[in-house]
Amino acid sequence: MNKRNFMDMVDTMLRADFGKGIEKASKQEKYYAVAKTVMTLIADDWNRTETAYKQGKQACYLSAEFLMGRALGNNLINLGIYENVKEALDKLGIDIRDLESAEEDAGLGNGGLGRLAACFLDSCATLNLPVTGYGIRYRYGIFKQRFEKGFQVEEGDHWLRWGDPWSVPRTEDRVVVEFSDGKVQAIPYDMPILGYDTKNINTLRLWQAEPITEFDFQLFNNQKYDQAVREKNRAEDISRVLYPNDSEKEGKILRLKQQYFFVSASLQDMIRRYKQNHGKDFREFAQFHAVQLNDTHPVVAIPELMRLLTDQEGMLWDEAWKVTVKTFAYTNHTILAEALEQWDSALYRKLLPRIYQIIQQIDKQFVNELKEKGYSKEQIEKMRIMSKNRIRMAWLAIYGCHTTNGVAALHTKILIECELKDWYELYPERFQNKTNGVTPRRWLLLSNPELADLITELLGTKAWIKDLSRLKELEKYTDNQEVLERFMKIKAVKKRQLAAYIHDHEGILIDPNSIFDIQIKRLHEYKRQLLNAFHILDLYYRLKENPELEIVPRTFIFGAKAAPGYYRAKAVIKFINEIAVLVNGDPEIHGKIKVVFVQNYGVSYAEKLFPAADVSEQISTAGKEASGTGNMKFMLNGTPTLGTYDGANVEIVEEAGEANNFIFGARVEELVEIQDHYNPKVYYEQVPGLKRVIDALTDGTFDDGGTGMFQELHQSILEGAAWHKADNYFICRDFEDYRKAQQAVDLAYRQPLEWAKKCWLNLVNSGKFSTDRTIDEYAKKIWHIEPNKI
C-alpha cells in the first residue's frame, strides 16, 4: 500500500463528505474518512468475490445476532496494512488508537451467541468459504448500561448516530414481508467481512424494516401528524431494538415480527438469486444452498421456505419438504428449558396465519410418521411440534433439518442422552457435535499484539494466525525461564493497560500487581455470578476477623448486562455493587481485595479484559453452559480457568491439563442423582461462612433501595419459587469447593515460575479452539461447501 496515496484518499473523503481537510477534521470525521477509504480499496475484490461465489454452492448463516465489535482495526489487520496506515497517520500527528476509539461498537448482538456468529464470519472469509450472514440491522443495540446507586439503568444504544461507513444499502434488492396486519419493506445493508491474508471478502446482509408508504400526505395535510407517520413508526419498530422486552403481549408480537421479518427477507433473497443463476427448477435448491439456523430464533424459516416453494413457486408439498430438510441445519445452543423457544399458537395464528397452517400440516405429517413407526399416544404427544397450544421451535428445527449440532462435547452428550434423547433415538444420523471456537485475529492479533509478536518471533512465522494448532510447537519453551519471563512481562503490560482503561472509564484505581480475577459474560443465574459474589463477601469477612490472614492482593472484575425484564439478574448486579461499596470503602482491608463491576460491557471492553486476566471465572452449574467462548478467549491469552466441569471447560482441561487449571464443584452425574432430594439448607447450616453471606442479603448489611429484590434473592436460594426449586443452580452445594479452588489459586500464584508455566501451557494448547477449525468442520460435515479463492 502506498501511504501517500492512502492519505490523499482520506483527505479527498474528508473534503467530499465534510468540506474540510485533515488538519481541520474532528476525530470522528477522520475515522469516518479512513473507513470509507478502506471501503474504496476493497470494492473490486468484494465484487469479484460475489461473482466467484454465484455458480457454486453457498452457505447462509441465519442469526438474530452478530456481535461484530469495532471494524477499523480488525479490517486493517486482516488486510495486512495496519502498520502502514498507523505510520502514515503518525506522520500527521494522528494516533490510530484515537480513530479506533471513535468507532461505535455495532449494536447488533448481546452475548456469546452473537459473538460466535461474528467469529464464524471472520473464519469463513479467512478460509475462502462462500458464506453469507443474514440478520437484522438494529437501529439501537440491546441497551447501553450504566449504574445508578448500584442499580442497572438502561439507555438507548444509538450506535448509528454518526453514520455507518461499513455498510452499503442495496435498495435494488429490497423485498416485501407480509404480516396479517400489514406489509413492510426489508432493505438490505451489506457489510463486508474481510478474511485474514486473502482477497476474498464475504458479506453480512442485514435487513432494515421500512414502511411501504413513508407517510400519509392526506392525514398530514389534515394536521393529523401522528396518524400520518403511524405506518412508518410501526414498520421501523421491527428493526429498532435488539431483543425488545417481551413481558407483555405487544412485546411478544414484536419479537415474532422480528424473527419472521429477517427470515422471510433472507429466504426471498436466496430464491431471487437462485432464479438468476440456476433457473426455476427448485428441486436443486439444496444443491446450491446450505442454511444454518443459529439457535431457535430463525426456525420459522422452515415453514417459510415451505410457503415460498409451494405457494409461490408451485412445488408439490412432498417435493418441497424434501428440499427443505436438505437445505436446513440447526445449531442448538442450550439445554435450558426456557431457551428452547416455544410460541403461543394463537399468536402465530393471528400474526402469521399461513405459516400457522403450514406448521399444522408439518405437525400432522410428523404425527403420522410416528404412528407408522409404532409410537404410543404418550410418546407422540411428548414429541409433537404443536401441543397444548404451544409451538415447540426446537422440535420443529430437529424435524425440519438434516443436521442438529451441539456446541461442545459435553453439551452434545447431554443433548443426545437426556434432553433430546427421544429425538436422537428417532434420528441418530442427524446429530453431530461442533465445538465452538474464537477467531485468533480479533482475540489475540488485535487485542494482544505484544503476545502475538512474541509467538511469531518464537515460531519464526505468522502461519499460526491461520493455523492455530501451530501454537503447540511452543510447548518446548515450557521450562525456558527467559521465554516465560518475557511472556509474564507482556501480561503485566496488559494489566497496566487495563488498569488505566478502568480508571478512565470507571474512575476506579486498581492495583496492576494484584491478581486480576475476571468474570465477564451475560448475567444469568446459571452462570453464577452470585457464587462469585458470595465468595468475595466471605473473604471480606474472614479478612475482617483475621487481619493477619495472608492472601495475594486480588481484584475481582465483573462485566455483564442483565436483560431489562430479568428482575433477579438485576438484583445480582445490585448486590455485587453493594459488596463493592463495602469492600472498596473499608480502610482496614488495605487494598487486599477490590471489586469492580465495569459498565456497559461489550466487545471493545472485552478486548482489554481478556489479555489482562490472571484468572478466568467459568463457574456455571455443571451441565448448564452449552459451551462458552469467553473461556477460550481467556485461554488463548494465557489465562488458567477456574471453573466447573461444564461446557467447553471439559475440553480446555483435556487440552491443557487439569493440573494447569482449577476445576471444582459437582459434575453433571452427581447433580442428576441429587436433584430430586437436594436441600440447600443442609449446606446453609453446616458450611462455615455460608449462612452469613446468604443472610447478608436480608439482615440489613446491604440496601436494595426498598425494592425487596434482595429478599426475593434470599428466598430463591433457601425456599425456591413457583417456577423452580430452592437453590436451582446449586450454589450452596458448590460454595465450599469453590472457596477451596480460590485458595488453590492464591497458593499457586505465589510461585511465579510455576504460575507462568500454567499460563503458558494454556496458551500453547489453545489451538483446538479456533473458529477456523470449527468452520472447517461445518463446511465439510454439514454444509458440504468448498473454498473458492478469488
**Catalytic amino acids?**
333, 521-522, 527, 629, 633
Q: Which residues contact 286 (CB under 8 A, 6 or more apart)?
A: 323, 326, 327
* Cβ within 8 Å of residue 20, ≥6 positions away: 14, 29
- Which of 124, 51, 57 lies closest to 327 in space, CA to CA? 57
Rounded Cα distance, 522 and 435, in Å = 20
Helix axes 72-79, 112-126, angle to 10 degrees: 20
Angle between the N-to-C axes of helices 481-506 and 752-764, in degrees from 0 to 180, rounded to the nearest 10: 90
CA trace torsion 716, 744, 638, 87 (10° rounding): 90
Residue 314: other Cβ atoms inside 10 A: 10
Nearest CA-CA partner of 113 in 261, 298, 333, 398 = 333
The position carrying cell 495475594 is 552
Q: How many CB atoms lie within 10 A of CB 746?
A: 15
CA distance linking residue 422 with residue 67, whole number of Å? 34
Q: Checking DSSP bridges between strand 390-392 and strand 386-387, what pairing results, if any?
A: antiparallel
Cell numbers found for residue 769: 479452539
CB neighbours of 235 closer than 8 A, spacing ≥ 6? 184, 185, 209, 210, 211, 212
Q: What number of CA atoms fall less than 13 Å from residue 286's CA on the CB side? A: 20
The contacts of residue 192 (CB under 8 Å, 6+ apart) are: 39, 42, 46, 75, 166, 201, 202, 203, 204
If one counts every other C-beta atom within 10 angstroms of the C-beta of residue 75, the result is 21
Bridging pattern class, strands 201-211 and 151-155? unpaired
d(CA 450, CA 496): 13
Residue 182 bridge partners (DSSP): 179
Q: Where are the beta strands (DSSP E) in 578-696?
A: 593-598, 615-618, 641-643, 662-663
Instruction: Give the cell for residue 485.
Output: 519471563
Strand segments, DSSP code E, in 609-693 are: 615-618, 641-643, 662-663
Query: Phi first, then psi: what are they for 636, rounded to 5°?
Result: -60, -25
Three-state secondary structure call for residue 130? coil
**H or E segment to which residue 383 belongs:** helix 377-383
Cα separation, 468 vs 771, whole angstroms: 10
Return the SS3 of 619: coil
665: left (phi over 0), alpha (psi -120 to 50) or beta: left
Question: What is the dihedral sign for C-alpha 434, 440, 443, 444?
Answer: positive
- CA angle 703-706-712, nearest 5°? 85
| Number of C-beta neighbours around residue 178 at 10 A | 12
| Residue 785: C-alpha distances to residues 279, 281, 762 (Å) | 20, 21, 32
Cα end-to-end span (Å), the chain:
20
DSSP letter, residue 376? -
What radius of gyration do the chain's Cα atoms show? 27
